[in-house]
Structure 1
């Protein structure tokens, strides 16, 4: 297999809410342009969060992971259209979600990333 020639990596993130509602799980997978697994992580965050906040926290954790791992140019793949829309709108809000979006905006100054919504009808071009 030939070595990857691209410096752009696809980072897929997802969040899951515990049935008891006391914590959430976050998963991050990073692949190169050949679809090979480069890095990944899973973490648990404690607290009661709704679905929107859970997905925002997953995005934030994914960006932090990518930054810490040295991936500076990424395609961030999300499965929530609402989160993609929030990022695109970049509206100022001052609740918990607004604070997370502000953190994401700060990370945007350190990482070059494009946010895309996962398309469940077609196979991923990275697979």
Structure 2
């Protein structure tokens, strides 16, 4: 079964993109983002799932809890959107986000000992349960739709 799964190694695959690039045929791309509203004491999460033709298959926009930093918001968003994607029966996709620290953390084979390590572990466990997944970093230009949704 491991041969059907492609979880990214410790290093983030390069190159990263300035604009959205389609996934390979029969694979979906899940772009997510989080926005922190410190003055409102909450966060916003956004996700768009598209196919290889760029057709939107699913979108979500949700309110999130108060957080201490943007990395915490991005990790919580990532966990929420992977749950959303799996609940919607997507099992082969690329997870793409614009926070390099978060993308490195969830693709690392090492245990995360940070305060958010339990969330990183949750995400990694969910990813291991998928048929095929890859974790990629994109610059904000490749994540515009998810950013607007957040």
Task: Give the TM-score normalised by structure 1.
Answer: 0.82
Structure 1 unaligned residues grouped into runs of 5+: 123-127
Pairing 1:12–2:38 present: no
User: Which string of whole-angstrom CA distances, capped at 9 and with x for unpartnered residues, describes residues 2-34 of structure 1?
Assistant: xxx933100000000013151110001000000
RMSD of aligned Cα (Å): 2.1
Unaligned runs of 5+ in 2: 1-23, 143-150
Q: Between Structure 1 and Structure 2, how many residues are aligned?
A: 118
Task: Say which of 29, 39, 63 aligns to 2:82.
Answer: 63
Decide whether the 8 Å contact of 1:21 with 1:49 is kept in 2. no
Provide the residue aligned with 2:138 in structure 1: 118
Q: Which has the higher contact order (CA 8 A, sep 6+)?
A: 2
CA contact (8 A) 2:107 2:124 kept: no
CA separation of 1:51/1:41 partners in 2, compared to 1, >3 Å: closer, same or farther?
Answer: same
Cα deviations by residue, 1:41-72 (Å, 9 ceiling, x for unpaired): 01111223311111111111111111001010
Match of 1:40 in 2: 59
Higher strand share: 1
**TM-score between both structures, scaled by the size of structure 2:** 0.70
